[in-house]
Structure 1
């Protein structure tokens, strides 16, 4: 038996249109799952020019996770769900998170929508004895000077993972999380596209390289598999050792 075989399983990756979420979606697809993704653009074809997106073989739907009523009212094209991955996330630079409007927007997308999505699919996950995986960040464990909302949202995501892990265990739902380090995606281009910043960061990482989206995808496969059947409420840090120092 292959514990990482997801044939016959249905997976939804919120934020699965690009970056880490897209890598996770494709990892499940390659292992046999029927994978649905939610993204912000009107159609899957709108991502063709985006180098960080591969929607081949995925079922795409547009969803603004900042619109909680839209999430609640949505009618998903599946009646079974085995794995829900919540990978949505934004960050605002140039001190916009120090403004009430910017702070609130980041919190809504990065934290509040996690709970709305979790509640939306709770019953389907309970019926399948499924797995919920919440993406946070190493920022949830340390300060990020220029981004108070991003930091607070990721710390909140870790707390939510713990609490839902305990609360929903009795429903047969395993809730766990992943806290990526600096992963090379469009959200981190402010560092990765800046040679001096990139080099300085790589030198701080014990593995001496930035993370790739596939580094996170492997952890998601593990958490959703029978290999992690006795793990609940945990957030696994996947950062190449960056937070060890």
Structure 2
């Protein structure tokens, strides 16, 4: 039997793959043979050399500003069709900034509006190649996050979009699934993971007793993109160490 996790000859695009969870997913696909393209907001890959959560070795980098509503179409025209599209872009604003109109709009634009923009831009190519799309949301999609309403609502919207596109685009021969990470140390979660008391309190709430890693999320993404998940669409896998079980 052929290795179902061998992505040799496949093209993978990871939006937000320059750092954090997206970067872990990108390197996971590269390790399994794929040609991987990643996007980030900085001018070029050299600007990520000092970033602790970034490893661009073996990856092809493109700058993409997802708040530019036409940028995804331009990227699709530039790089062509891909077999796997992973959407891992995301922002959050703390200190109650998301309760303002400006803060709300800024977060929703990245976490939800851009997901549909990118999906729309790459839909035809994915359909032609019998590919699949994976949307990285968050366990915040399924619970309250008292200080970040736009983050929670946008992630819930992304998880809902996975369901709808999973059904709507099945007829086109492509699958749409998602991953909802729990607590993973990234720039977005540093407010918790870099604070000893908050970190320890969070760890006590995780049955498996540890935070997740980008590599954990890569494992889920590899599964969803592989033939092992060929009968799955419209589903979001919760990968949180049991955090949301109680």
TM bracket (short chain): over 0.9
Distance in 1 between the 2:231 and 2:75 partners?
32
C-alpha displacement at 1:76, in angstroms?
4.9
The question of whether the paired residues in 1 share the 8 Å contact of 2:76 and 2:121 is answered with no
Question: 2:237 matched to which residue of 1?
Answer: 236
Question: 2:16 matched to which residue of 1?
Answer: 15
Residues 84-127 of structure 1 show CA distances to partners (whole Å, capped at 9, x for unaligned) of 00000000011110000110010010000000000000010001
Distance in 1 between the 2:156 and 2:200 partners?
27
TM norm structure 1: 0.98
RMSD, aligned α-carbons? 0.9
Question: 1:137 matched to which residue of 2?
Answer: 138
C-alpha displacement at 1:185, in angstroms?
1.1
Distance in 2 between the 1:11 and 1:211 partners?
23
Residues 47-71 of structure 1 show CA distances to partners (whole Å, capped at 9, x for unaligned) of 0010100000100000111111122
Structure 1: gaps spanning 5 or more residues: none
1:147 aligns with 2:173: no
Aligned partner of residue 111 in structure 2, secondary structure: helix
Distance in 1 between the 2:81 and 2:161 partners?
24
Aligned partner of residue 188 in structure 2, secondary structure: helix
Distance in 2 between the 1:73 and 1:61 partners?
11
Structure 2: gaps spanning 5 or more residues: none
C-alpha displacement at 1:78, in angstroms?
3.5
Question: 1:69 matched to which residue of 2?
Answer: 70
Distance in 1 between the 2:145 and 2:160 partners?
18
TM norm structure 2: 0.98
Distance in 2 between the 1:73 and 1:219 partners?
29
Distance in 2 between the 1:92 and 1:5 partners?
38
